[in-house]
Amino acid sequence: MPDRLPQEVKNLLERKRAWHRAQAAAPLQEKVRVLLELQRQDLPLIAQQRPLRPWERPWDVTP
């Protein structure tokens, strides 16, 4: 990392790297759970701006 970056930015970037490492190491079920949760959060926001395209409509996968 360049020495010109403030310490807060260095800390933020390191936390981001650690989060990405943890996500990469997570089991597949956890990765899918996170993906579905992010879709549940994002799709309503997209739908407010424009109609969802056919491939953007989520499958009902809740038990």
High-pLDDT (> 90) share of the chain, %: 48
Mean pLDDT over residues 16-37, rounded?
Answer: 92
Higher pLDDT, 58 or 52: 52
Q: Is residue 14 within 8 Å of residue 5, measured between CB atoms? A: no
Residue count of the chain, please give it: 63
Higher pLDDT, 11 or 59: 11
Mean pLDDT over residues 6-19, rounded?
Answer: 94
High-pLDDT (> 70) share of the chain, %: 94
What is the spatial distance between Cα 29 and Cα 57, in angstroms, rounded to a whole number?
Answer: 21
* pLDDT of 1 above 60: no
Assessment of whether the complete model's pTM goes beyond 0.85: no
